[in-house]
């Protein structure tokens, strides 16, 4: 706002009749010395006989020749700028109070030609909100971090033999409201075969002849796991999550146990060993995809899973894996410990077979001749690219040997090599660093001979879209059965057979 100063210059002391002021002159120049200056304008009094002009005959105002930018205002405590990108005349600057504080005074200023229009106010604490008191539940208690003030968290604890039903924690928000309704403390229950049992109740089951007691945490604690027959062992089945008696497998004859394998260490109190991990991290063990049996034990004392079950551990056993989870254990138990596992598989120390009724061996071939690619990779896809007519899509088996050298299987297995008929051969130099890296191998595949179906092309089975019931395929291909459009037509060996269902695996 401009400041106007009035003054009186050169007015006669004589009293004149009908005196009146004339028009103001234009403003004079701005006499600026630094940032601000002043300028003046005048007016004249037309004197009368009996009166004089009232008021001043000049005006003075402050002036500046250029706009003056404002200085960035000081930021009040517990606040931050939300819009203060310019300090030029006409711009604005705003602040916002931090969470838990309210503004007191100005929060938005405007820059004028003479500075900010006002000063920022302050940010004062919000009075603490208080949530209503929580009612103490039956068979339990509530413990809060800070009574019922804002941000206080309250937890529900149930008495022994009871467990929470519903929410077990709630927080008082800034509006004085609990964000959740606490549940109740109900008598703890355990479930077995779709029936519920209260805490403290013991049952005798037929599964492993075990005596189980429902604990205060709603978990079964069982003991005396044993089966009626010595040829059976008690396990905790991973599929049904129940105890059951399982027949022991004698691993002998064409089958044998692998070495004990420990693929990883427990993570977050959980331990898991499986055939898949064993194949990935220990290819030299030659673990089969479908083991006939597995055995697991604790590493530190070689105690079997069956004995650990007797001690109260809950360790699940599957067809090819063993799993121990911390959350399944009784409360006084610690984290699951490191375990190792072995697998019963058919021995791999015999030359792969390719029976005549299955097919014939392809020629020995070497698809990976690069010695600097980190190993030897005789992949099925590479061999099919080299010989698409000879190498089939789904081989029955695979055989391998060193290039220009025939080795028996015992020598070959000194190196860590993975073979799979539908993948090929994989050997990593890093896994065989002790033996100077992988050798250069060549492979062959057992493939079914392509079937000669040229007899089917000697005469079409129909004309146009309508079947021809008089058509008979050549005798050498299918005998003398007439064609029937309602049946499937399949070649089996040298005969054409007709089936009501899809062709069998032995049909081509």
Dump pLDDT digits (tens) for 62-112. Answer: 776 665 678 888 889 999 988 887 888 888 899 999 887 888 889 999 888
Are the CB atoms for 68 and 34 separated by under 8 Å?
A: no
Tokens of 493: 């060996």
Of 41-55, 79-93, 279-293, 408-422, which gets the smallest average pLDDT?
A: 408-422
Angle at 146 between CA 140 and CA 151, to 5 degrees: 105
Q: Return d(Cα 364, Cα 328) in angstroms, integer.
A: 53
Residue spans of the domains in the chain: they are: 1-66, 79-125, 140-187, 198-346, 360-447, 454-499
Whether 471 has a pLDDT exceeding 70, the answer reads no
Quote the pLDDT of residue 462.
45
Q: If you average pLDDT over residues 258-283, what whole number do you get?
A: 87
Angle at 251 between CA 247 and CA 255, to 5 degrees: 130
Whether 218 has a pLDDT exceeding 80, the answer reads no
Whether 503 has a pLDDT exceeding 60, the answer reads no
Quote the pLDDT of residue 383.
94
Residue 464: count other Cβ atoms within 10 Å of its Cβ.
7
| pTM of this structure | 0.34
> For every residue of 315-353, which 3-state class applies, written as one string?
EEECCCEEEECHHHCCCCCCCCCCEEEEEEEECCCCCCC
Phi-psi label, residue 411: left if phi above 0, alpha if psi -120 to 50, beta otherwise: alpha
pLDDT band at 11 (very low <50, low <70, confident <90, very high): very low
Dump pLDDT digits (tens) for 151-196. Answer: 788 899 888 888 888 888 898 887 778 888 898 898 888 877 677 8
Q: If you average pLDDT over residues 237-242, what whole number do you get?
A: 79
Q: If you average pLDDT over residues 229-251, what whole number do you get?
A: 80
Tokens of 126: 């919000």
Tokens of 445: 């595949």
In the chain the first and final C-alpha atoms are separated, in Å, by 102
Give the chain's mean pLDDT. Answer: 76
Dump pLDDT digits (tens) for 306-358. Answer: 888 878 788 889 889 999 988 888 755 578 999 999 998 876 555 677 877 77
162 exposed, middle or buried (CB, 10 Å; 0-12, 13-18, 19+)?
A: buried
Q: If you average pLDDT over residues 191-207, what whole number do you get?
A: 73
Q: If you average pLDDT over residues 122-130, what whole number do you get?
A: 78
Tokens of 414: 């000194």
Q: What are all long-range contacts of 236-242, with beta carbons under 8 Å and residues at least 24 apart?
A: 236/309, 236/314, 236/315, 236/316, 236/317, 237/316, 237/317, 237/318, 238/316, 238/317, 238/318, 238/321, 238/323, 239/318, 241/316, 242/193, 242/207
- The residue behind tokens 């033996």 is 435
Quote the pLDDT of residue 365.
93
The domain defined by 79-125 folds into Complement Module; domain 1 (2.10.70)
Domains 79-125 and 140-187 share a fold: yes
Range 140-187 classified under CATH 2.10.70.10:
yes
Of 127-141, 222-236, 399-413, which gets the smallest average pLDDT?
A: 399-413
Tokens of 20: 């009146």
Dump pLDDT digits (tens) for 34-69. Answer: 566 778 888 888 776 556 787 888 888 877 666 567
Quote the pLDDT of residue 210.
67
């Amino acid at each position: 706002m401009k400041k106007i100063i009035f003054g009186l210059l050169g007015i006669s002391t004589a009293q004149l009749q009908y005196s009146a002021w004339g028009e103001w002159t234009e403003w004079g120049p701005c006499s600026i010395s630094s940032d601000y200056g002043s300028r003046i304008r005048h007016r004249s009094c037309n004197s009368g006989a009996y009166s004089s002009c009232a008021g001043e005959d000049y005006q003075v105002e402050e002036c500046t020749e250029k706009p003056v930018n404002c200085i960035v205002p000081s930021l009040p405590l517990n606040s931050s700028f939300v819009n203060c990108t310019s300090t030029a005349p006409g711009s604005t600057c705003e602040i916002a109070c931090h969470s838990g504080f309210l503004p007191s005074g100005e929060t938005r200023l405007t820059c004028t030609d003479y500075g900010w229009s006002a000063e920022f106010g302050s940010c004062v604490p919000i009075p603490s909100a208080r949530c209503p008191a929580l009612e103490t539940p039956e068979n339990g208690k509530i413990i809060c971090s800070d009574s019922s003030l804002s941000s206080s968290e309250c937890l529900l604890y149930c008495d022994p033999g009871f467990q929470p039903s519903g929410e077990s924690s709630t927080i008082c928000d800034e509006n004085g409201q609990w964000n959740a309704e606490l549940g109740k403390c109900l008598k703890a229950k355990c479930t077995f075969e779709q029936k519920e049992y209260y805490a403290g109740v013991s049952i005798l089951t037929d599964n492993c002849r075990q005596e189980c007691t429902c604990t205060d945490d709603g978990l079964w604690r069982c003991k005396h796991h044993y089966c009626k027959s010595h040829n059976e062992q008690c396990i905790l089945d991973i599929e049904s999550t129940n105890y059951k008696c399982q027949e022991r497998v004698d691993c002998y004859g064409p089958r044998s146990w692998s070495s004990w394998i420990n693929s990883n260490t427990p993570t977050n109190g959980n331990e898991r060993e499986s055939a898949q991990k064993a194949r990935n991290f220990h290819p030299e063990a030659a673990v089969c995809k479908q083991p006939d049996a597995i055995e697991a034990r604790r590493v530190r004392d070689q105690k079997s899973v069956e004995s650990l079950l007797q001690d109260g551990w809950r360790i699940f056993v599957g067809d090819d894996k063993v799993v121990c989870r911390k959350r399944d254990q009784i409360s006084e138990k610690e984290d699951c410990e490191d375990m190792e596992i072995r697998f019963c598989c058919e021995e791999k120390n015999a030359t792969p077979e390719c029976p005549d009724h299955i097919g014939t061996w392809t020629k020995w071939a070497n698809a990976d001749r690069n010695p600097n690619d980190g190993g030897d990779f005789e992949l099925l896809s590479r061999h099919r690219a080299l010989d698409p007519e000879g190498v089939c899509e789904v081989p029955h088996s695979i055989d391998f040997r060193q290039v220009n050298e025939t080795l028996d299987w015992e020598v070959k297995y000194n190196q860590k090599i993975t073979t799979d008929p539908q993948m090929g051969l994989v050997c990593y130099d890093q896994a065989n660093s002790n033996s100077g890296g992988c050798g250069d191998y060549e492979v062959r595949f057992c493939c079914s001979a392509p079937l000669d179906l040229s007899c089917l092309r000697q005469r079409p089975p129909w004309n146009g879209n309508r079947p021809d019931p008089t058509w008979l395929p050549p005798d050498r291909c299918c005998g003398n059965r007439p064609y029937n459009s309602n049946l499937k037509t399949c070649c089996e060996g040298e005969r054409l057979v007709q089936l009501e269902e899809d062709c069998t695996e032995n049909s081509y």
